[in-house]
């Protein structure tokens, strides 16, 4: 958020694996070339990349989800933005080697094409883009909250905090419409209830909320976090909320954080063409002062914004 954008560039990545997690959710692992690895060695959670998927062919027709069979054949020209659920940086004698994990949901002509990616394929990438989450000094509690496909960068942030800020207590709240829409592995926790394995592995407590009650808390993830805040007394001055998800959920989170007087950073999403501030399509309405608003660019000024600055448009 406050960290100035690092250098970015165009480079190639090699696909290491592309696995289906459940229904329309997939996990793509890639290894970046030397240039990409150099560019990504200081990447932060909340930053993103753009992939050129124009030359990726459609999967076999039998694999295309029924609801996408019609629109899957539409051409893909513009790059597609993705955040990361994990970044592994390994130093080698020739410089850093960066491996990145992306979680994606198949919901249009570009992501349908991604289903056909396999080990050894190459993808052209532009990145790293935007400004990531910034970790305030003197932080003791980090509350991470995500809705649906907003959860990948939240998982990345969780492991980043565990690694770089071991004294910070990290708690996560992950919401989705139903259990099928959680892009993670759900299992029975050690004590009671369901947990997400990906968060358990990095020792971050995960509170699940589903709109239909099919897993975890029955209701919105923001209400799940509100209950937790009622039960757990934390110092708001040493706490911060980090959120990513649909805009109504971000608006709810911003309000909740304000009720508890905690700072809150939200990662916004917009349709974008370029990702580098050229096209001006990804405008986010922000508060300039008490009486004025201004548009900022999601790709360049964001995607992470101070929640207090954003004028949310919840549809």
Partner 1 sequence: MDKTTNLQIDFAGLTLSGPVMTASGTCGYADELSEFMDMSNLGALITKSISIEPRPGNPTPRIVETNGGMLNAIGLANMGLERFLEEKIPVLEQLDTKILVNLAGKSIDEYVAVADRLAREEAIDGFELNISCPNVKKGGITFGTDPVLIGEITAAVKAVCQNKPLMVKLTPTVTDISVTAQAAVDAGADALSLINTFTAMVIDVEKRKPVLANRTGGLSGPAVKPIAVYLVNKVYNEVAKDAGIPILGMGGIQTVTDALEFIIAGATTVAVGTSTFVYPDTAEKITLGLAEYCKNKGISDLRELIGSLR
Q: Which stretch binds partner 1 (CB under 8 A): 132-140, 169-177, 197-205, 280-288?
A: 280-288
Q: β-pairing, 239-244 with 141-147?
A: parallel
Q: CB of residue 208 vs partner 1: minimum separation in angstroms?
A: 29
Interstrand relation of 206-210 and 194-196 (parallel, antiparallel or unpaired): unpaired
Q: How far apart are CA 276 and CA 48, in angstroms?
A: 11
Residue 272 interacting with partner 1 (CB under 8 A): yes
Q: Is 78 in the site for partner 1 (CB under 8 A)?
A: yes
Q: Which stretch binds partner 1 (CB under 8 A): 177-185, 192-200, 231-239, 282-290?
A: 282-290
Which of 17, 63, 67, 74 is close enough to bind partner 1 by CB under 8 A? 74
Task: Using CB under 8 A, count the residues that bind partner 1.
Answer: 30
Least distance (Å) from partner 1 to the CB of residue 117?
18
Print the binding letters for residues 102-141 with partner 1: x by CB under 8 A, - otherwise.
------------------------x---------------
Instruction: Kindly tell me which of 149 and 282 has the beta carbon lying closer to partner 1.
Output: 282
Tokens at residue 115, please? Answer: 């289903």
What is the residue-wise DSSP string for 159-206?
A: HHHHHH-TTSEEEEEEEESSGGG-SS-EEE-SSSSEEEHHHHTTT--E
Among 25-33, 205-213, 254-262, 269-277, which window interacts with partner 1 (CB under 8 A)? Answer: 269-277
Cβ–Cβ under 8 Å, residues 172 and 145: yes
Binder to partner 1 among 281, 287, 306, 308 (CB under 8 A)? 281
C-beta of 80 vs 156, nearer to partner 1: 80
Q: Which stretch binds partner 1 (CB under 8 A): 7-15, 56-64, 139-147, 154-162?
A: 7-15
The neighbouring-strand residues paired with 259 are none
Q: Do residues 28 and 123 make contact, with C-beta atoms less than 8 angstroms apart?
A: no
What distance in Å separates the CA atoms of residue 46 and residue 56, rounded to the nearest whole number? 26
Contact 235, 141 (CB under 8 A): yes
User: Is residue 308 close enough to count as binding partner 1 by CB under 8 A?
Assistant: no
Contact 240, 262 (CB under 8 A): yes
- What is the distance between the alpha carbons of residues 179 and 181, in angstroms, rounded to a whole number? 5
106 CB neighbour count, 10 Å cutoff: 22
Span 11-70, contacts to partner 1 by CB under 8 A: 52, 54
Residues lying near partner 1 in the complex (CB under 8 A): 7-10, 52, 54, 74-79, 126, 270-274, 276-283, 285, 293-295
């Amino acid at each position: 958020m406050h960290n100035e954008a690092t250098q970015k560039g165009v480079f190639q990545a090699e696909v290491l694996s592309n696995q289906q997690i459940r229904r329309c959710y997939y996990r793509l692992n890639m290894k970046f070339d030397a240039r990409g690895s150099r560019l990504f060695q200081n990447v932060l959670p909340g930053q993103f990349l753009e992939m050129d998927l124009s030359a990726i062919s459609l999967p076999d027709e039998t694999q295309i989800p029924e609801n996408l069979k019609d629109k899957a054949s539409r051409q893909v020209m513009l790059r597609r933005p993705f955040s990361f659920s994990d970044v592994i940086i390994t130093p080698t004698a020739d410089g850093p080697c960066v491996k990145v994990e992306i979680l994606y949901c198949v919901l249009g002509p570009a992501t349908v094409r991604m289903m056909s990616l396999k080990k050894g394929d190459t993808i052209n990438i532009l990145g790293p883009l935007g400004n990531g989450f910034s970790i305030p000094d003197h932080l003791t509690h980090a509350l991470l909250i995500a809705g649906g496909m907003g959860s990948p960068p939240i998982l990345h942030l969780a492991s980043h905090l565990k690694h770089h800020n071991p004294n910070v207590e990290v708690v996560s709240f992950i919401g989705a419409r139903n259990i099928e829409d959680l892009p993670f592995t759900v299992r029975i926790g050690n004590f009671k209830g369901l947990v997400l394995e990906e968060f358990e592995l990095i020792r971050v407590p995960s509170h699940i909320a589903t709109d239909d009650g099919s897993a975890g808390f029955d209701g919105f993830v923001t209400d799940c976090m509100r209950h937790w805040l009622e039960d757990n007394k934390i110092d708001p001055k040493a706490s911060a909320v980090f959120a990513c998800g649909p805009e109504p959920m971000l608006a709810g989170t911003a309000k909740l954080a304000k009720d508890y007087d905690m700072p809150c950073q939200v990662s916004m999403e917009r349709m974008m063409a370029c990702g580098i501030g050229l096209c001006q399509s990804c405008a986010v309405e922000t508060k300039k002062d008490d009486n004025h608003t201004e548009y900022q660019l999601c790709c360049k000024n964001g995607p992470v914004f101070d929640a207090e600055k954003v004028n949310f448009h919840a549809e």
